[in-house]
Structure 1
Amino acid sequence: MERKPRLGSQIPLLRQKSPLSGWAQFGIRVGLLFALLAFIVAVHWIDRESFVDSVDGEISFADVIYFTMISATTTGYGDIVPVTEEARLFDALVVTPARIFFILILAGTAYTFVIKRTWDTYLMRRLQRTLSGHIVVAGYGTSGGEAVDELIARGEDPRKIVVIDQNPESIAKAERLGCIVLQADATRDETMEAVRLRQANTMIISAGRDDTSILICLTARHLCPKLHISLAVRAEDNEFPARAAGATTVINPTSFAGLLLAGSAHGAGIADYLADLASATGRVRLHEREIENFEIGKPLSEVAIGLGVRILRNNKAIGFWEEGAKKLETGDRIIEIIPGFAFPPCN
């Protein structure tokens, strides 16, 4: 038995991008207008005996075109008028609705091809002038979407997140979150320029295919040699090419899932704790920051905010048990474990 939707529920509708270009759609609208005008002119010409011309008393073909146009545009000078009931009914029941149809098409065309495009261009340029210190996310699939959700959960302003994707539905989802979106090919230089990548704080790449993600990374890296780029790959063999392409951090979701599974084999608590560290909603989480001036010279174990577990010094990782962790130095960045409810500002 067919199941009926509950009252008030919404049935999702299929959507597909129109195969027609903007100019083709414009041509169809103009064609409809001329076809309707031609039909009205033909009826008026066949029934021209039902009209009176107060100027010369004769209705020529030019008079018919003239009357049709001024009727359709609601001008009406009164020099040519319908005098029979049939002509007046035709004007009332056909020409008047056609007149409304003309106005709707003309207004819609003007909005689509003039007002909307001009307004969208203005908004894009305004956004481009103000974008700075933002996060660029290339690819809004499963991983990219979860990354954006996690960023927002960690307190990141969605207006400082720029999402690039070629899928209109993915773009619509990101836009509903309040993100700035761009439906474009992230492998192209002009796309990176449009999102002001040089002014960005970091970039996250998760295009769904490793080769596409690596190509996006190459494009971004040659434009921004110092930008922090995090890239997700699916195949372990692609981790090295991703780093060679310029990725600062390479994430393999499959490998991470394997780590959680392996940890759970020795107890559920290990897997739960790792999940907590990776999520903004966990009881604890990892936080990376540059040390404060008053922390210089102190051991890692005495950091001010959380529990220090690693030092990042001159592109080298130093564990809390190593000799280098006994004294923090200028320029050090530390990774610490903090309570999940704490959201210190990111440096």
Structure 2
Amino acid sequence: MSRDTPEPALGRIQLPETTRSPWWELGKRLLLALAILAGTVLLVYVDRRGYTDANDPTGKVGFIDSIYYTTVTLSTTGYGDIAPTSEGARLINAFVITPLRIAFLVLLIGTTLEVLASQGREMFRVSRWRKKYMDEHIVVVGYGTKGRSAVETLVNNGKPREGVMIVDPSPSAVADAAGDGIAIVTGDATRRQVLRRAGVERASQVIITTDTDATNVLAALTVRQLNPDAYIVAAVREEENVPLMKQSGADSVITSADAVGRLLGLSTLSPTLGSVMEDLMTYGDGLEVAERELLVNEVGKQPQQLPDQVISVVRDEKVYRYFDPVVTQLARGDRLVVVRPARELPWAPRPGTHNETTSTETED
């Protein structure tokens, strides 16, 4: 889909496929059919002296007769009242008008079948996609810079693209989502029917990243009403709007302006510290922050004894810093927030990435 494509209908699910609208194809073919019709009329009228009209006493063929003859000939009706009599007219009928007749019929019949088949295929694709992926999926509201970065991070960490649904009214977002292979619902995320088309009632997580805090707050309220159990992560531009966003139902709130400001400040005070923070937030190289399950052979150990650099421990849905006395000894069911190499190195293994048995798998 090009950026010149008209804005799609609001609330429509658009799967990632770069095809033209069936109605655009239909209009193009109708124009071609009219061109064949007009060309044949002109051809018959120019060669009208080679035709005879049985219903006219003089046998002459005029312009109206040419239109009539063309329509009944191309549609294969053929009443026979007007017929080619000269050799030239018969040769033109045999080698020019007959192929045009075939092309005309194929064009009309083929267009009808293609439009119906295209609509049927699209309906089938959307229905199959809904059944397969629209359950425990992730809905991303807003596909600007923050939204695209969030989706890229999800995909890079193993989330299938089919398990992500975008909600955005912008035609440029539709084009970007199609290019990235992500399904999108075009519409305003503050409207219930739009979110329902995105399957937000069955979503496991919702990320809200529009450009305005007011829209983010309204979207969070609407999402929470439709899905009380979804985990909502929302972005706000101003720190003062964080409490309002949490009251609206967001479980986690990221302050984009303050986060950027802090990173700028750290880079100014300590360029080295700023580069390390940038490294942690960049996927695929250097260091990364990750969450993983505790392994069986790690139960009972201290966080400092593990090969990963543990910075927090998640126990009973609460987050503890690694030095907190509550998590001095790791227990079954704990989850670890660690800093580790983005790619495993011979001297820096990545526990939890080699199908090891986790502590939760042996609790029973």
Q: Confirm or deny: 8 A CA contact 1:275 1:282 kept in the other structure.
A: no
Task: Sort the Cα spacing of 1:134 and 1:33 in 2 relative to 1 into closer, same or farther, 3 A.
Answer: same
User: Which residue of structure 2 aligns with residue 245 of structure 1?
Assistant: 248
1:2-151 matches, cutoff 5 A: 15-17=4-6, 51-52=51-52, 67-73=69-75, 80-84=82-86, 100=103, 103-104=106-107, 107-108=110-111, 110-112=113-115, 114-131=116-133, 132-151=135-154
1:1-347 matches, cutoff 5 A: 15-17=4-6, 51-52=51-52, 67-73=69-75, 80-84=82-86, 100=103, 103-104=106-107, 107-108=110-111, 110-112=113-115, 114-131=116-133, 132-292=135-295, 295-303=298-306, 306-342=308-344
TM-score (norm 1): 0.75
Report deviation, 1:287.
Answer: 0.8
Between the aligned partners of 2:25 and 2:235, the Cα distance in structure 1 is 40
Q: Confirm or deny: 8 A CA contact 2:8 2:171 kept in the other structure.
A: no
- Greater RCO (CA < 8 Å, at least 6 residues apart): 2
| CA offset digits 1:238-278 (Å, max 9, x no partner) | 22221111112111222111221222233222111111211
Q: Secondary structure at the match of 1:336?
A: strand
User: Which residue of structure 1 aligns with residue 18 of structure 2?
Assistant: none
Between the aligned partners of 1:326 and 1:178, the Cα distance in structure 2 is 45
Between the aligned partners of 1:136 and 1:145, the Cα distance in structure 2 is 12
Report deviation, 1:137.
Answer: 1.7
TM-score (norm 2): 0.72
Task: Give the letter for the 1:15 counterpart.
Answer: D
Between the aligned partners of 1:22 and 1:158, the Cα distance in structure 2 is 26
Q: Secondary structure at the match of 1:265?
A: helix
Q: Confirm or deny: 8 A CA contact 1:136 1:202 kept in the other structure.
A: yes
Between the aligned partners of 1:272 and 1:138, the Cα distance in structure 2 is 30
Superposed CA RMSD in Å reads 4.4
Tell me which moved more, 138-147 or 177-186.
177-186
Between the aligned partners of 2:259 and 2:165, the Cα distance in structure 1 is 26
Report deviation, 1:330.
Answer: 4.6
Identify unmatched segments of 5+ residues in structure 1. Answer: 1-12
Task: Sort the Cα spacing of 1:142 and 1:198 in 2 relative to 1 into closer, same or farther, 3 A.
Answer: same
Report deviation, 1:290.
Answer: 3.8
Between the aligned partners of 2:113 and 2:328, the Cα distance in structure 1 is 69
Between the aligned partners of 1:154 and 1:294, the Cα distance in structure 2 is 25
Report deviation, 1:302.
Answer: 3.6
